Amino acid sequence: MNPENDLSNLLRGWQVDVSPGSTFNRSVWSRIEAAEGCKGLGLSALISWVQLLAIPRIAVTTAAIALFGGILIGGVQARSSQEDRYLQSLKPPVAASFAR
């Protein structure tokens, strides 16, 4: 008894008996169209943003928001850094605790 022959015989005798539903083609095409719509967002969205930034009022507003956002984030980061340094200065040196 050879398992390869048994498998080959089973595969030769196998038949598909499932038929696609009536909405099969419509659902396949709708998924394809949805996937193509998502795929096109990359380059076309970038081009539309660049075109939008060509308007001076929007470009200045975007630059101002980026500038103030950077200043805000930098200030928060600097403040936490200063707090860390202050807390480190309050800790006694490790060598002094061993000297006693």
Where exactly are the structural domains of the chain?
A: 24-54, 55-91
Distance CA 60, CA 95 (A): 55
Distance CA 85, CA 91 (A): 10
pLDDT given for residue 72 in this prediction: 92
Dihedral angle, C-alpha 75, 81, 83, 86, nearest 10 °: -140
What one-character DSSP code corresponds to residue 93?
A: P
35-90 confidence digits (pLDDT tens): 776 655 667 777 777 888 888 898 899 899 999 999 999 888 877 777 777 777 77
Is 0.85 topped by the overall pTM? no
Angle value at C-alpha 65, between 70 and 83, nearest 5 degrees: 30
User: Is 44 in contact with 36 (CB distance < 8 Å)?
Assistant: no
pLDDT given for residue 53 in this prediction: 81
pLDDT given for residue 44 in this prediction: 72
pLDDT given for residue 6 in this prediction: 84
Which residue did the predictor score with more confidence, 3 or 39? 3
Average pLDDT over residues 9-16: 84
User: Is 62 in contact with 53 (CB distance < 8 Å)?
Assistant: yes
Average pLDDT over residues 8-13: 86
